[in-house]
Amino acid sequence: QRRRLAMGSFFVGVCMLMMLTTQSTDARITREDIRRAHLAVRERGGTSSPVADLRCEADSLPTAPEGAVKFFALGDWGVRGLDVGSEAQLDVARGISCAARAIRPRFIVTLGDNFYPKGVTSENDRQFSFKFEEVYRDDALHVPWFPSLGDHDHLGDVNAQSMYSLKSDRWSMPRAWYVEVIPLTNGGKLQLIFVDWVALEGRLSVS
């Protein structure tokens, strides 16, 4: 047990050190900035709307244990409108909308490659609406989203993905590397460490 705790602490320490030295975003957005921006968007009506034609099978998912932390994770998802994967993204969105209605996740984590093929150009890029807001629009998916970056995101403006946190009411990415602490019902805490592996690989690779 002590060894596992020591290894965990070492890993967190390494991540924090790399976080301070390899940030690929220059945004300086605080959680309070994001909280206020999210509230302002919601006051203007928000971005969620139920999917009217969604048909979900009843009791198709197992019941989560009492006190479980319920969340979704998805990656390589921003492909709507491309020759390959466009319909698949919409199918997955309908599937997780049904799952979210049944499970009610507390938050959603993205695992990178949020916007194919070359990331976004600015926080006003149409892709935020076309590949995110319009696709995952069901009320059940209207929970905090904690994004991380992939190699396709690095082909665009990664700083813009941080800045979009101030234009959305659920996208919450203060910078490329960041930590989120989720309070648990038993009084404990879940610590999520978001790592920019693309920047880390570039820093550690041998040219």
Q: Give me the half-sphere count of Cα atoms (radius 13 Å) on the Cβ side of residue 142.
A: 17
pTM of the model: 0.82
Name residues whose C-beta falls within 8 Å of residue 76's C-beta, 6 or more positions apart in sequence.
Answer: 111, 112, 113, 116, 150
Mean pLDDT rounded to a whole number for the chain? 85
Residue 205's pLDDT is 47
* Four-residue CA torsion sign, 198, 79, 156, 97: negative
Q: Are strands 178-183 and 145-146 parallel, antiparallel or unpaired?
A: unpaired
Residue 12's pLDDT is 61
Residue 44's pLDDT is 83
Closest CA to 145 of 27, 47, 24: 47
Q: Can you tell me the mean pLDDT for 100-110?
A: 94
Closest CA to 199 of 139, 140, 145, 159: 159
Distance of CA 15 to the CA centre of its chain: 19
Report in angstroms the alpha-carbon separations of 204 from 18, 131, 196: 11, 32, 12
Residue 48's pLDDT is 63
Per-residue confidence band for 23, with pLDDT thresholds at 50, 70 and 90: low
Would you list the DSSP string of 45-81?
A: T-S----TT----TT-SPPPPTT---EEEE-S---TT
Q: Can you tell me the mean pLDDT for 133-153?
A: 95
Least trusted range by pLDDT, from 9-18, 66-75, 108-117, 141-150? 9-18
Q: Which residues of 178-192 are buried (b: 16+ CB within 10 A; e: fewer)?
A: bebeeeeeeeeeeee
Residue 30 has pLDDT above 80, yes or no: yes
Per-residue confidence band for 24, with pLDDT thresholds at 50, 70 and 90: low
Residue 115 has pLDDT above 70, yes or no: yes
Residue 22 has pLDDT above 60, yes or no: no
Distance, CA of 33 to CA of 47 (rounded, Å): 19
Distance of CA 4 to the CA centre of its chain: 28
Q: Can you tell me the mean pLDDT for 101-111?
A: 94
Distance, CA of 92 to CA of 100 (rounded, Å): 12
Give per-residue pLDDT as tens, 40-68: 988 887 766 666 677 887 666 778 888 88
Residue 42's pLDDT is 85
